[in-house]
Amino acid sequence: MRKLSASAAVAASGLLVSSASAGVFQDVFRAIDLLSTPSGAPVLLTGDGTRVNGARAGRVRILPDELGNGYSLEFDRTFGQDSQGRPETFDLGPVDLTLAGDTQLTAGYTDRGFLIGNVDLAVNALNYNFRARSGAQNTTITGRLDVTNNLEINQFGFYNLNVNATNSGSTVTVDGVIQEGFSDSDFAIGPINIQGNIFIDGLAALLAGLGVDTSGLADLFPRSPIDQITAAIEQQLLKDDVATSLSRVEGFATATSSDLGLDDLGVVAGLDLAANPTIVPEPSGLLLLAGGAMLLIRRR
């Protein structure tokens, strides 16, 4: 009798877990489906299941992989003007975001005697305009984003991650009573190729959180994905900040020497500009500091 009760309890718990998992996946799919739906009206349905409103289009579907014995999720979304030429703007309360460009995501798994999961993300010429307006202080960030990411992972936890992203033509404009200014904020990440194991990464993070020395595990995969990606961002942002700041100092020195009638402004009032350039903080530098703070919190 006890064995029957235990078996019934196990079966019931299994059904509850399965139902909960199914509910989670349904919620995730609804969220993706909502994101793939073009904003505004009217939204028309084409023969392949794509929903269209002017230049805006979107589609999401799950397809079985007959050869690979698996499934794949396909997500396509094009942001742009509606049928009347209005830009696609998302009102987020105190801020709004306008997008124009293509995004595509493919995620799935196959079981050809060896389980393999993969995620491919492509963002093609996605133009964005982010505005934060309070009246007293306004900020506008514009630019173009191109991203190509690929992640492949097998049943043993080994993964291969490729990251390549560029943010071009990006500017930050600040206008208000507190501060005014304009700055470029371009950056590039990659191409970066990262290999590792999620189980070893998870174990190392758990042990590090308990205060255990994880240098032995770290030697298996010396650098984590977040470390490599963060290092690439830091290198690009620092390079942009230093180059911009030095160019500003050089321009100041040239203009000042011309005004004073000097051939070379090597030293002005005892200040050697070449040896002691004043680095002017850029918005990208502030972003770098914020990223460092986030990494510190993550590691703790």
How many other C-beta atoms can be found within 10 angstroms of the C-beta atom of residue 76?
A: 19
Q: How far apart are CA 179 and CA 188, in angstroms?
A: 27
For residue 11, pLDDT beyond 60: no
The per-residue pLDDT for range 25-71, each reduced to its tens digit, is: 788 888 888 999 999 989 999 998 999 999 999 999 998 877 768 89
The per-residue pLDDT for range 177-207, each reduced to its tens digit, is: 666 777 888 888 878 888 888 888 778 778 8
The per-residue pLDDT for range 132-160, each reduced to its tens digit, is: 877 777 889 999 999 999 999 998 888 99
**Token reading at 230:** 């963060």
Structure-model confidence comparison of residues 199 and 126, the more confident one: 126
Give the pLDDT band of residue 255 (cuts 50, 70, 90). very low
Q: What does the longest C-alpha to C-alpha distance in the chain come to?
A: 104
Q: How far apart are CA 294 and CA 124, in angstroms?
A: 28
Q: How far apart are CA 152 and CA 149, in angstroms?
A: 10
Please spell the DSSP secondary structure of 102-138, one letter per residue. Answer: EEEEEEEEEESSSEEEEEEEEEEEEEEEEEEE-SSEE
Structure-model confidence comparison of residues 262 and 57, the more confident one: 57
Instruction: For 155-243, list the strands marked E by DSSP.
Output: 158-176, 181-184, 187-197
Q: How far apart are CA 182 and CA 174, in angstroms?
A: 6
Classify burial at 12, counting beta carbons within 10 Å of its beta carbon; exposed 0-12, middle 13-18, buried 19 or more.
exposed
Contact 128, 172 (CB under 8 A): no
Residue 283: per-residue pLDDT? 45
Contact 132, 95 (CB under 8 A): yes
Q: How far apart are CA 118 and CA 265, in angstroms?
A: 58
| CA of residue 123 relative to chain centroid, distance | 11
CA-based R_g, the chain, Å:
26
Give the pLDDT band of residue 104 (cuts 50, 70, 90). very high
Contact 172, 139 (CB under 8 A): yes
Give the pLDDT band of residue 238 (cuts 50, 70, 90). low
Closest CA to 146 of 120, 171, 167, 119: 167
Classify burial at 284, counting beta carbons within 10 Å of its beta carbon; exposed 0-12, middle 13-18, buried 19 or more.
buried
Q: What are the residue boundaries of the structural domains of the chain, listed by start?
A: 1-36, 38-185, 211-300
Give the pLDDT band of residue 291 (cuts 50, 70, 90). very low
Average pLDDT, rounded, for the chain: 74
How many other C-beta atoms can be found within 10 angstroms of the C-beta atom of residue 228?
A: 19
For residue 78, pLDDT beyond 70: yes
Whether the full predicted model's pTM is greater than 0.85, yes or no, is no
Closest CA to 80 of 99, 61, 103, 105: 99
For residue 264, pLDDT beyond 60: no
Q: How far apart are CA 117 and CA 68, in angstroms?
A: 11
Stretch 162-170: mean pLDDT = 91
Q: What share of the chain is helix, strand, coil (3-state, %, to 5)?
A: 35, 40, 25
User: Helix, strand, or coil here: 234?
Assistant: helix
| Residue 297 DSSP symbol | H
